[in-house]
């Protein structure tokens, strides 16, 4: 019996016909690779555009009754995105659940490969091989140190052991809060401005930072507005993320 990223055995049937995803990145992964398999997704699953499948509410509050009614052969989730209580409730109802655990680019590439091959029983797609190639070919330029807010009111930033932090590290950007004991700490704005960073990276999700909402809080610092999907999603976006993020980081400026 195959084991997911947490080491849990998952009773995958001999043929997988219906998969419900409760993580946007995993939804896009399956929809692009084997669209006929996708039987349900969360309300927050926005890619690929035009995705037309039953919705099962959110990552933190999935509609367990609706998921069961979709008769999935397997549900795919993530240890950071989904609550253990929901996962155990589905397992108790006899639904196989495959959990991913991803905190680095290398883990993402390996985890998605295993999920597709062992949980979904589909061939590894070309886009995943391409993503592995482009990330292996990166040569970081001048290293900068950044504060990476993901929310305001209150301000929250990327801390230790995150996929986002690893993406930036590989592109030559060190996270000023990489050694913080919390993974997503709440930090007062005055502390963010005195953290010793020379760059602020503002993604457009989960909080939608824009030129008019965010940069004004960091006077004197270069600010890079970046695509949140490229920065935080692990899926088909991985293939284009290095080039897109490198361009956006190179365009950082003071506002």
Asked whether the domain spanning 140-254 has the same topology as the one spanning 19-124, the reply is yes
Average pLDDT over residues 80-103: 97
What are the structural domain ranges in the chain?
19-124, 140-254
Whether residue 139 is predicted with pLDDT greater than 90 in this model: the reply is no
- Name the band, by pLDDT with cuts 50, 70 and 90, for residue 141: low
State the CB neighbour count (10 A cutoff) for residue 129. Answer: 12
Helix (H) or strand (E) holding 145: strand 144-147
Q: Which of 210, 215, 201 is nearest to 250 (CA)?
A: 201
Beta-carbon contacts of residue 217 (< 8 Å; ≥ 6 apart): 152, 189, 193
CB–CB of 66/56 below 8 Å? yes
At 174-233, the pLDDT tens digits run: 999 999 999 999 999 999 999 999 999 999 999 999 999 999 999 999 999 999 999 999
CATH level 3 topology of 140-254: Rossmann fold (3.40.50)
**Average per-residue pLDDT for the chain:** 96
Helix (H) or strand (E) holding 247: helix 241-250
**What is the distance between the alpha carbons of residues 162 and 76, in angstroms, rounded to a whole number?**
20
Asked, as a colleague might, if the bond just before 220 is cis with ω within 30 of 0, I would say: no
Question: In the prediction, which pLDDT does 220 show?
Answer: 92
Strand partners, 203: 226
Looking at the structure, give the CATH architecture of the domain made up of residues 19-124. Answer: 3-Layer(aba) Sandwich (3.40)
**What is the distance between the alpha carbons of residues 47 and 28, in angstroms, rounded to a whole number?**
5
User: Nearest 5°: phi and psi at 98?
Assistant: -105, 120
Q: Which of 1, 27, 157, 152 is nearest to 81 (CA)?
A: 27
Average pLDDT over residues 63-83: 97
CB–CB of 234/179 below 8 Å? no
Question: In the prediction, which pLDDT does 138 show?
Answer: 86
């Amino acid at each position: 019996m195959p084991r997911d990223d947490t080491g849990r055995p998952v009773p995958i049937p001999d043929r997988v016909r219906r998969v419900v995803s409760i993580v946007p990145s995993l939804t896009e992964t399956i929809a692009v690779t084997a669209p006929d398999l996708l039987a349900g997704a969360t309300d927050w699953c926005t890619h690929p555009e035009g995705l037309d499948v039953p919705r099962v509410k959110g990552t933190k509050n999935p509609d367990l009754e609706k998921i069961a009614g979709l008769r999935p052969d397997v549900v795919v989730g993530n240890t950071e995105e989904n609550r253990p209580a929901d996962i155990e409730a589905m397992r108790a109802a006899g639904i196989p659940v495959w959990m991913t655990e991803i905190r680095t680019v290398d883990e993402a590439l390996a985890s998605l490969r295993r999920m597709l091959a062992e949980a979904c029983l589909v061939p590894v797609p070309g886009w995943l091989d391409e993503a592995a190639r482009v990330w292996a070919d990166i040569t970081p330029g001048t290293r900068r140190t950044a504060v990476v807010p993901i929310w305001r009111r209150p301000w929250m930033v990327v801390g230790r052991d995150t996929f986002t932090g690893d993406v930036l590290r590989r592109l030559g950007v060190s996270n000023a809060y990489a050694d913080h004991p919390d993974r997503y700490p709440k930090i007062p704005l005055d502390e963010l401005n005195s953290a010793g960073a020379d760059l602020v990276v503002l993604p457009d999700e989960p909080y939608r930072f824009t030129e008019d909402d965010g940069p004004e809080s960091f006077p004197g610092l270069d600010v890079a507005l970046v695509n949140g999907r490229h920065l935080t999603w692990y899926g088909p976006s991985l293939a284009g993320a290095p080039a897109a993020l490198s361009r956006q980081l190179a365009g950082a400026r003071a506002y």
